[in-house]
Chains A and B, each alone.
Chain A
Amino acid sequence: MNRSEITEKLNTIFPTVFNKPGLSITESLTASDVDGWDSLTHMILISEVEKSFGITFKLKELNKMKNVGDMIEIIASKL
């Protein structure tokens, strides 16, 4: 799966988790850009991403994830 395929798949997860139908992600998107992206929704997002890609994140990886670009990078490394 290449980066754009990963992005496409993430674009189906983000709007559902944050309950924002129009939300489209970019690599530079961070938690502070999205209303309602807090500890709880972050946890839900991570678990949805894990389920959908069939991967698991380590806490260290979550901690180094500063934006959606980093997330895509880590997902790509696990596929």
Chain B
Amino acid sequence: MFRKHILDPLRDCLVSSAAQNAFCIGETFYSYSDFGKKISSIRSVLKDQQTGNRIGIVANDDLETYASIFAVWFEGLAYVPLHPMQPLERNLDIAGQAGITLLLNSDGKAEYVHQVTTSDLPEAASDFDFTEVSDDSLAYILFTSGSTGKPKGVAITRGNVGAFMAAFWKAGFAIDASDRCLQCFDLTFDVSVQSFLVPLTRGACVYTIPHDQIKYSYVFGLLDDHQLTFGAMAPSMVRFLRPYFDEIDVPSMRYVIMTAEASPLDLISEWAKCVPNAEIFDFYGPTEATIYCTYYKMPRIASAKELNGMLSIGKPMDGITAVMLGEDGEILPEGEKGEMCIAGPQLTPGYWNNPEKNAEAFLNLELNGETRRFYKTGDVCYFDADGDIMYYGRLDYQVKIQGYRIELGEIEFHCREFLGGHNAVVIPVENAMRNTELVLFVESAADVNETLSSYLKSKLPSYMVPAKVVLQDVFPINTNGKVDRNKLKAMLN
């Protein structure tokens, strides 16, 4: 699967589309030939080193970083991305958990041991033959927020990624070498994998966002200056553009994918006028089921399906099975709301070195006389009469901020660590922009604002650091004896 849908098509592009543009990074174009040269020289370093099968890659925005991913894959290895703007301590924890013994970094800063700097490597002979490994081998491990205060690794195999690509094409996308495709996601987030694989396996060009740019403004620049034709984006990013919708007209856009969080119908309907010729899709998927697993094509003329103002997430992709599970573990009929569970070839073999979490998140269910392994998404949904999935909300304290999946428990854990016993509760609220923002309540009278914020910045990525801190002498308690999160939230108004 991986070879057929990823390695073979990319190799064909490296050889036969050598002069075509593969990337536009910070307004500089790089051809498939430039890309192939970088891949080959990084491979020669990997061959010289004693490595485990998991290689750390510092996720910078440059050609070397993307070439590192494919060098790792051509060598039969897997990558673990580390974001340069996240705290070093968090990255070291991830590197430790993943057992990384070699790290590729295009930035000369030597913050890690066993680091190879990829920006000034000598040229090597073209090397596009790949080391054959099975589809059961790992492709990448992505670390997401974990409620115990430690990030947790989702291990994705080559077979998972291959199955994803096969199913993605079947959803009806025709991309060729003339396409110009947006890649506006961090490499630590799996929608990035779709965003670079779709163009690179079709000879098209990938347009990226430099880390030091204001994303929404830069994305508009790319859409407008380069007349992009394909792109996945998060609704929260599109919302930043909303005050300027009357200035935006991108007739070149053929396909727009809304993903990473629930899509508000009103926002996307207005956005649709800015991309008048695009087919608009709402894609849903947890990292555990490899990028996306259901999708809904938004009708341009008829009214779109929605629940509480959020677009339907449509039907399962090819090969994916979705069921709604009731509170007693029974599979619910159409129309009944329950926890969505997903099965199929895109399903992760499990969390990395985390048997407790694996026991919690996966279960076997019998369906049509066959026992299959399902992932419990934590998302509450139901099937409508046409078999489209309507998205209701989360079961737990997980929220999405700017498309990033966050366990509130992880933030609360670090706050309590710092406060040495004082209670801390994080509440997601909608700000004036209608984007989700985090407010931290601290059960203390002492002003800890400044020191706590800087402590959290050293432990957590910036999108997890609460925007506001509220000090509260005593927390309200509900009838179950738990902190009443609803009352705390009400205090904000």
Contacts and interface: CB of A to CB of B under 8 A. Distances in A.
Is chain B found bound to chain A in the same assembly?
yes
Band of interface residues on A: 10 to 19
Given A31-B214, A60-B224, A63-B218, A38 B462 contact: yes
Contact of B247 (A30, A37, A38, A58): A58
B237 A59 contact: no
Contact of B462 (A36, A43, A58, A62): A36
A39 B237 contact: yes
B136 to A, nearest CB: 39
B215 A39 contact: yes
A63 B217 CA distance: 5
Nearest to B465: A36
B244 A58 contact: yes
A32 B214 contact: no
B212 interface: yes
B126 interface: no
B240 A39 contact: yes
Given A40-B435, A43-B433, A59 B214 contact: no
A58 B216 CA distance: 13
Nearest to B210: A32
A65 B216 CA distance: 13
B221 interface: yes
A59 B240 contact: no
B213 interface: yes
Nearest to A47: B243
Question: Most chain-A Cβ atoms within 10 A of its Cβ — which of B214, B224, B402, B437?
Answer: B214
A28 B437 CA distance: 30
A63 B216 CA distance: 9
B240 A43 contact: yes
A32 B212 CA distance: 5
B462 A31 contact: no
Interface string A16-53: 00000000000000111001111110110000000000
Contacts of B247: 58-60
B462 A59 contact: no
Nearest to A33: B212
A23 B126 CA distance: 50
25 contacts: A31-B212, A31-B213, A31-B214, A32-B211, A39-B214, A39-B215, A39-B237, A39-B402, A40-B433, A40-B435, A40-B437, A40-B467, A42-B217, A43-B240, A58-B244, A58-B247, A59-B241, A59-B244, A59-B248, A60-B224, A62-B217, A63-B217, A63-B218, A63-B221, A65-B217
